Amino acid sequence: MTPPVTDSLREYARGIAGGLMFSLPLLYTMEVWWAGFVADPLRLILYVATVFVLLLGYNHYAGLHHDACWSEVVIDSVEEMGLGILVAAGMLFLLGQIETDHTAVEIVGKITIEAMTVAIGISIGTSQLGGDEAKAKGGAEASAKTEASFGGQLAIAGCGAVLFASNVAPTEEILLIATESHLLKILGLVLLSLTITASILYYIEFSGSRPLERAGESILSVVMGTMVSYAVALAVSAAVLWFFGRFEEVALLTCVAQTVVLGLAATLGASAGRLLLQ
Amino acid sequence: MKKIKKNWLEWTVFALSTVLIASVIGFLAYESAMLGEALPDIQLQVGTPEARTGYFAVPIEASNRGDQTAEGVHIEVVLRSGKEEERSDIEIQFLPRRGRREAWVTFKTDPRAGTLEARVLGYEKP
């Protein structure tokens, strides 16, 4: 039986609202518009491909249609990305960032870069902001699927990390903090990131979430879980920084420091993602 | 494989999305194939001066023929009328590859009486 049109319309609207909620900071950031025309087109294609893989992972493990088969997951991901492009284009137009004297490369670059975060936001909005009926619909299957595999956890953590990290990555402040603060303070950020990751995953109880802790869980698995989340966060922040050209013509130390500075944002996203989105 | 349950709206959105994504990727791939390594090459075009309240505005159009974006493009315009010389300058924040931007420089003396010369003082790699 096909779902009624009004239901799918509501689902799209919910997704778009979520997409805007999560990506508005990026849409309002001029460094992101600039990155759109400074970045190499090939790098943009790579970014689109990466985000698509993340969307596939997210939709497979945490998507609204818990009983979805792979072809449905692909269709959902394509839809989210397409809506992301539409929303980004519309928003950029309203923000006066698409003008007649801009070249096509410039416009497409800007839209692409913004659309990817919007797409992740749409994906999360569609599945997480759903009303009771949507939750009830997927309820039975959902409970069967809560035990996401290790790969699924990584995909969800990656999505959360990208969403949080890409909001601050293009700003000048990351480079400023990385180059101006004392190395011991950067080290302090590492410790803070690890503490926060561990407490989000195993200690703080977010509403609607289920702590990862199970009876008889050893210290070792807590340490491992924390490390995995933080590692995903660091990898994502390094990738996002590379994408925004933050690693060009800087010393290795600055690259690492920037990764750590952004890593705090990324690890918040990664651990919150792992908890909330399962 | 089980049958996919979709209504016409969902299929429309899917089709539209596919077209959008394919054209964005296609366009980017085409551009990346066409894009060379040429450094920024900035050409300036001085427009017709216009009288404003208390000063004169001269439109400047800067276009970048290169394959790389220039940041902080500093442009100087010199107005020579007889022995008098008046300078004016403007900075354009970003000049995208193969893109153009419009700006105005202003003068106190009437530029229509003299000759205008514009040149790029410098720019940086973004």
Domains and CATH numbers, chain B: 1-34 (no CATH), 42-124 (2.60.40.1620)
Distance between CA atoms of residues A69 and B103, nearest Å = 55
Q: How confident is the model at residue A141 (pLDDT cuts 50, 70, 90)?
A: very low
Q: What is the pLDDT of residue A1?
A: 66
* CB-defined contacts A:B, below 8 A: 107
Instruction: Indicate whether A29 pLDDT > 70.
Output: yes
Q: What is the pLDDT of residue A142?
A: 44
Sign of CA dihedral A122, A126, A131, A135: negative
Phi, psi of A18 (to 5 degrees): -65, -40
Q: What is the pLDDT of residue A143?
A: 42
Most B CBs within 10 Å: which of A51, A55, A78, as the mutation test of the B interface?
A: A78
Tens of pLDDT, residue by residue over B24-54, are 999 999 988 888 888 899 999 999 999 999 9
Counting other chains too, the contacts that B39-43 makes at CB distance below 8 Å and 24 or more residues apart are: B39/B66, B39/B67, B39/B68, B40/B64, B40/B66, B40/B68, B40/B69, B40/B70, B40/B95, B40/B97, B40/B123, B41/B65, B41/B66, B42/B66, B42/B70, B42/B73, B42/B95, B42/B120, B42/B123
Cβ–Cβ of B29/A86 closer than 8 Å? no
Q: Is A3 on the interface with B (CB under 8 A)?
A: yes
Q: Is A172 on the interface with B (CB under 8 A)?
A: no
**Structure tokens given for A195:** 């503490």
**Structure tokens given for A244:** 């925004």
The SS3 of residue B67 is coil
Q: What is the pLDDT of residue A225?
A: 85
pTM of the model: 0.82
Tell me the residue ranges of DSSP E strands in B1-126.
Answer: 42-46, 50-52, 55-64, 70-81, 84-95, 100-107, 115-124
Contact yes or no for A129/B119 (Cβ under 8 A): no
**Which one-letter amino acid corresponds to residue A196?**
I
Tens of pLDDT, residue by residue over B59-102, are 999 999 988 889 999 999 999 988 888 999 999 998 988 888 99
In sequence order, the β-bridge partners of residue B57 are B50, B106
Contact yes or no for A126/A80 (Cβ under 8 A): yes
Q: How confident is the model at residue A148 (pLDDT cuts 50, 70, 90)?
A: low
Q: How confident is the model at residue A212 (pLDDT cuts 50, 70, 90)?
A: low
The SS3 of residue A69 is coil
Q: Which of A231, A157, A158 is nearest to A194 (CA)?
A: A231
Q: Where are the domains of chain A?
A: 1-145, 147-278
Q: How confident is the model at residue A248 (pLDDT cuts 50, 70, 90)?
A: confident
Counting residues of chain A whose pLDDT is more than 90, the rounded percentage is 43
What is the average per-residue pLDDT within B99-124? 90
Using a CB-CB cut-off of 8 Å, the residues of chain A touching B123 are none
More confident call, A243 vs A87: A87
Instruction: Indicate whether B16 pLDDT > 50.
Output: yes
CA distance A226 to chain B (A): 36
In sequence order, the β-bridge partners of residue B88 are B77
Contact yes or no for A159/A58 (Cβ under 8 A): yes
Instruction: Indicate whether A217 pLDDT > 70.
Output: no
Instruction: Indicate whether A254 pLDDT > 90.
Output: yes
In sequence order, the β-bridge partners of residue B59 are B104
Q: How confident is the model at residue A244 (pLDDT cuts 50, 70, 90)?
A: confident
Mean per-residue pLDDT of chain A:
84
Q: How confident is the model at residue A274 (pLDDT cuts 50, 70, 90)?
A: confident
**Structure tokens given for A271:** 């651990």
The DSSP symbol for B78 reads E
Residue ranges of B 72-111 with Cβ closer than 8 A to chain A: 94, 96-102
Q: What is the pLDDT of residue A109?
A: 92
Place of tokens 């929303």: A87
Helix, strand, coil distribution of chain A in percent, nearest 5: 80, 0, 20
What is the average per-residue pLDDT within A32-59? 89
Q: What is the pLDDT of residue A150?
A: 77
Instruction: Indicate whether A193 pLDDT > 90.
Output: yes
Distance between CA atoms of residues A117 and A51, nearest Å = 8
Question: What order do you get walking across the sheet with B115-124 strand by strand?
Answer: B84-95, B70-81, B115-124
The DSSP symbol for B53 reads T
Residue by residue, DSSP assigns A101-144 as TS-HHHHHHHHHHHHHHHHHHHHHHHHHS--HHHHHHHHHHHHH
Contact yes or no for A233/A263 (Cβ under 8 A): yes
CA distance B113 to chain A (A): 30
Instruction: Indicate whether A139 pLDDT > 70.
Output: no
Phi, psi of B60 (to 5 degrees): -125, 130
